[in-house]
Structure 1
Amino acid sequence: MYKDLLILIATIIILIEIYRKLRQIWVRHQLMKKKKNKQPRKPAVLRPKSERDCRFCQEDKEKRKEAKRETPISWQLRKGKGGPKKKVSTAGFYCSNESCEYYGVADEPIHALVGYGTHGLYEEIQDFKCQACKKKFTIRRNTILYRLKSHSRLVEKILWLLALGVDASALEEVFGVREVTIRSWLSRSGVQGRKLHDRFVAEMELIHIQLDELWANVQKSGQEMWLWVAHDATTKLIPVLQVGGRNQDIAFSAVHELKKRLAEGCTPVFSTDGLKHYYYALTAHFGKWERGEGKKPVWVLLSGFFYSQVIKHQRRRKTVKVERRVLVGEAAQYRERLCKAGLSGRINTSYVERLNLTIRQSVSKLTRRTWGPARYTTELMEHLEWWRGYYHFVRPHESLAIEFTQPLKRKGKQLPRKNRKRTPAMAAGLTDRRWTVRELISYPLL
């Protein structure tokens, strides 16, 4: 009796499994039929946005424009020809007293700074004095090194390695500096990097901008965070880096910052992936109001505005098709503008995608499967700002090197120099030479 019952149960189980298999085969067959009969889907019609849809544009309109301070009369003309000559160069430095007439003036022939001795226990730190307001301050004022007790060489090495992708915990083990201290230095360097970016990257004439976003692992963010990147294909500059969600608001914010950093009348060629937020954000910032048939003004896109998308279709984690389409402008004119800039003329986002790899390799908090991700958005942003300053002014870019007509001979047994290495800041005309990390951390910024 028990044997018959067991045989019956086993038979029922086998029949159920056979039914499940047949059901799966039938469902797959029906899906294949639908795919064959399915007509190709038409792309959605995107309607341009205007500056009224961007809250950042509206906030800027409400802010009052601050009156620019006039450059004061040169101190040399005021004091006359008498007195000893300067022995210490004060170029690039300024009086840090806000009530002083020469506050923020870095031109040596104009400001009233003179050397005023040195101080320091482990290394000599130069002091300055403003002859106009009689205030004394150190050369490290408004820099990363201000009031730090650690040696400047140690700070330089650690920040250098942080920009090369080394984790803070590894630096603690090698140099014997607490991780909390390293994080405080990184926070200072992030503020320095942001000020440096605001000082130099303004009124830019950029030709081809590629935009993209990459996923960022931020532990205590409460949502998925993404790093939004804007990259110039010719100079390799990164005018915009922002961390936020993958939504329309952050897209407006990124493009709004990009627009503010461009020179008036500059309209680059744009290319992005298939995310529709880019289209709405770009059309809201690169247009103008024109009078329509009635009294109501109409938002019209600029004539020099060109925008394309590169959409990659994947199947089983492999790219099976790449679709390229121009959404704004003519494809022939789009390629013509790229060729004039010295590019291939092919619609792509390869430059910004390659930059994403560089960012992941250089910022330890963005490394895949890392044990040390960022805990907060501000912490990640500070690291990115410091790395961007290093990337722009210190790190040479291989594609920007200029080859010499004849190799330059060097001393000893060194091989002749075939090219001149350049940084993105040099390619964009922001500086005429490569900076050192020491110069980067010692540059005074308000």
Structure 2
Amino acid sequence: MANVLPAERRLEVLAALVNGTSIRAASRMTGVHQDTIGRFGQAIGEGCARLHDRMVRDLTSPLVDLDEMHSWVSRRQVHVDPAKHDAATSGETWTWAAICRTSKLIIAWHVGKRDQESADALVEDVRARLAVMPQITTDGLGLYAQPIAANFGRAVPYMQTVKNFSSRPGKPGTSEKFAVERGVDFIQKRAIFGTPDPAKATNFAIERSNLTARQWNARLRRRTLAFSKKLSRHRAAIALHYTYTNLCHIPRNMRITPAMAAGITDTVWTLEELMVAALEEPAGEKPEPQPLAIPKPEGPARELPGGRGWLRVLPGGSAPTAPSAPQPPPVAAAPAIPQPEPAATGQAAAPAQPPAPDREPVGQLDLLSWRPRPREPVQLSLFGDPPEQ
């Protein structure tokens, strides 16, 4: 007889894993050996990854957020000697994820180091699953710009939200360890490519998803012994969590699952349906990139020929007005010159001097309308002026 767990017992183990229970705690709760739980979790996690590749395609997500999350694998240390251990599978590990902000669907994820290779892998996977050009928002990490430009083009609306931190005194009465705390002073938004809408640029959806992942996946929690000891099982646990939240979980501020909101499924999946589908899912092909349709922007817009996009009106400008002729500045009147009174001897007073003619006012010159003034021709004499009679 094959050593296979009954379906009821497997369902109990799966319910414990998707609700944030570690393998040792799940073993104490269900009575199943921890090695058996580890093999079962890896098998169903790999099946969830294949299920995700088949179902999550041709998405029309208008807003996409990208972020990365830190964790440990094999050992809690930053620097690993490549001569003794595999640097790619030991020490610090990062989970890169992309979420559709409108439907809360996890579009893609990647587990690796915090380097350019991992950023390229995530952006390429996101590009292969989209059918519409989105607005992309990330934090200030500079590794995203190169793959986004290579996969989406420099016309994609892409904006970074950079948090500026500062140190401030902690609450009175706390210990010396928390005497100084860090806080966010302000968030700076800067456009990298295209013309993104700053009002729609935020990372709250992906950061809230990271918080849920740390709560529901024991391998991602900080300051714990439940971190993964093998990279393959860590990747399987990440795939299980994201697939479960896409198909089975209804967010608090929604009435349907993210997969239903994205148009992937019509019903809420049960945990048993997820287990059966993941274990029976065969190996398939990864999605391939398709041409992206550019959605019509809000407000006045005109479509460019050849399906190259839209010409839209940006706020903050003003309509051009016809230039008006410059007005000459007012000329101040010349002060009156006091005249001496006639002498008492009876002599006639000196004739008054005529007022000086007003000068021509000088205004703003127009370089385009300036023309030289015509001059009267003057006859030149070769022998000088004739003598006066």
Quote the residue 1:278 is aligned against: 144
Q: Which runs of 5+ in 2 are unaligned?
A: 76-88, 168-181, 283-389
Residue 222 to residue 154, structure 1, CA distance change in 2 (3 Å) = closer
Q: What residue is the counterpart of 2:201 in the other structure?
A: 347
Q: Which residue of 2 aligns with 1:85?
A: none
Cross-structure match for 1:320: 185
Which secondary structure state, in structure 2, belongs to the residue aligned with residue 184 of structure 1? helix
Larger Rg: 2
Instruction: Give the 3-state SS of the residue equivalent to 2:149 in structure 1.
Output: helix
Question: CA 1:195–1:204 in 2, change beyond 3 Å: closer, same or farther?
Answer: same
Partner of 2:13: 158
Amino acid at match of 2:162: I
Matched, 1:360 2:214: yes
CA drift of 1:329 comes to 2.4
Q: Output the CA distance in 2 between the equivalents of 1:196 and 1:431.
A: 13
The answer to which structure has the higher helix fraction is 1
The match for 1:311 among 155, 162, 169 is 162
Distance 2:129 2:34 in 1: 35
Select 2:124's aligned residue among 256, 259, 271.
Answer: 256
Partner AA of 1:230 in structure 2? A
Considering Cα pairs closer than 8 Å and 6+ residues apart, tell me whether 1 or 2 has the greater RCO: 2
Task: Give 3-state SS (helix, strand or coil) of 1:395's partner.
Answer: coil
5 Å-filtered alignment, 1:39-438, equals 149-220=4-75, 221-263=89-131, 266-287=132-153, 301-302=154-155, 305-316=156-167, 317-331=182-196, 334-335=197-198, 345-401=199-255, 422-438=256-272
In 2, Cα distance between equivalents of 1:445 and 1:225: 27
- Three-state SS of the structure 1 residue aligned to 2:47 is helix
Structure 1 distance, partners of 2:222, 2:209, is: 15
Q: What code does the residue aligned with 1:217 have?
A: W
Q: Which runs of 4+ in 1 moved over 2 A?
A: 219-224
Deviations 1:292-347 (A, max 9, x none): xxxxxxxxx34xx100001111123211221111122235xx25xxxxxxxxx342
2:219 and 2:226 in contact (8 A); partners too:
yes
CA RMSD of the aligned region, Å? 1.6
Paired with 1:205 and 1:283, the residues of 2 have a C-alpha distance of: 19
CA contact (8 A) 1:225 1:244 kept: yes
CA contact 1:223–1:245 (8 Å) conserved in 2: no
The aligned amino acid for 2:24 is: S
State whether residues 394 and 423 of structure 1, in contact with CA within 8 Å, keep that contact through their aligned partners in structure 2.
yes
CA contact (8 A) 1:308 1:324 kept: yes
Greater shift after overlay, 209-218 or 318-327?
318-327
Q: How many angstroms does 1:219 deviate by?
A: 2.2
Give 1:173 deviation, angstroms: 1.1
Task: Return the offset for 1:245.
Answer: 1.1
Contact 2:45–2:240 under 8 Å retained in 1: yes
Q: TM-score, normalised by structure 1?
A: 0.55
Residues 114-168 of structure 1: per-residue CA shift (max 9 Å, x gap): xxxxxxx9xxxxxxxxxxxxxxxxxxxxxxxxx6622101101211220110111
Is the Cα contact below 8 Å between 1:200 and 1:430 reproduced in 2? yes
Aligned counterparts of 1:148 and 1:232: Cα–Cα separation in 2: 41
- SS of aligned partner of 1:285: helix
Question: Offset at 1:376?
Answer: 2.2
1:192 & 1:398 partners in 2: Cα distance?
27
Percent of residue pairs bearing the same amino acid type: 30
* Superposition TM-score, scaled by structure 2 size: 0.63
Matched residue count:
253
Paired position in structure 2 for 1:442: 276
Shift of the 188–309 alpha-carbon distance from structure 1 to 2, 3 Å rule, reads same
1: CA distance between counterparts of 2:200 and 2:59? 24
Deviation at 1:286, TM superposition (A): 0.8
In 1, distance between residues paired with 2:127 and 2:194?
19
The superposition leaves residues 401-442 of structure 1 with CA deviations (integer Å, 9 ceiling, x where unpaired) of: 2xxxxxxxxxxxxxxxxxxxx111111111111111111111
In structure 1, how many angstroms separate the alpha carbons of the residues matched to 2:3 and 2:217? Answer: 24
8 A contact 2:158–2:195 mirrored in 1:
no
Unaligned runs of 5+ in 1: 1-120, 122-146, 288-300, 336-344, 402-421
Q: Is the 8 A contact 2:12 2:30 kept in 1?
A: no
